[in-house]
Amino acid sequence: MNFSQEESIVESITVKPNPILFWFTVTFQLTNKRISLTDYNTLLALIPFGKNEITMTLKNVASVSVSSGFSIIRLLVGIILTVFGLNLLFDGIFGIIFLAIGVLYLLKCYYCTIIINNNSGQSRSVEISFLEKSKLESFAAKANQSLANL
């Protein structure tokens, strides 16, 4: 991100959307003038397929919040794929693939989401691993404090 002369970084964090796929990261930056985030598009949650860079001025941001949730569908798909993968584990490479995808789904069934709302009512949300929740909450608190000081 390119900064203007009067701009300074207040907070910058890098978090992982998935605890296993450590090479995929999401970067959030808060300056005294704007919020920016960079995240990656993926194909099948495994293959990098481009990236998104979003920047919003603080004057256009209404709030930043963090929520967490649990997906029963991801849990069920993860259990089914893991059991299927364990059954096929010694039959070839497909067992390992199903097992790996099943474990990924199990790790993503509990998640944390940061939501950035703008003044027109639109929101941008990014889903992150539940292990990174404290970083997101700290970033959201500092962002909301910066918004209150405008």
pLDDT in tens, 68-115: 999 999 999 999 999 999 999 888 898 999 998 899 889 889 999 999
- At 39-65, the pLDDT tens digits run 888 776 667 788 889 899 999 999 999
How many domains in the chain? 2
The model scores a pTM over 0.85 = no
Measure the CA–CA gap between 150 and 148, rounded to whole angstroms.
Answer: 6
What's the rounded mean pLDDT across residues 135-149? 93
Could you tell me if 16 and 61 lie in one domain?
yes
Q: Verify that 78 and 127 share a domain, yes or no.
A: no
Does residue 25 carry a pLDDT above 70?
yes
CA distances from 76 to 7, 45, 110 (A): 47, 17, 12
Asked whether residue 5 falls in the same domain as residue 53, the answer is yes
Which range marks the domain in which residue 98 is found? Answer: 72-107
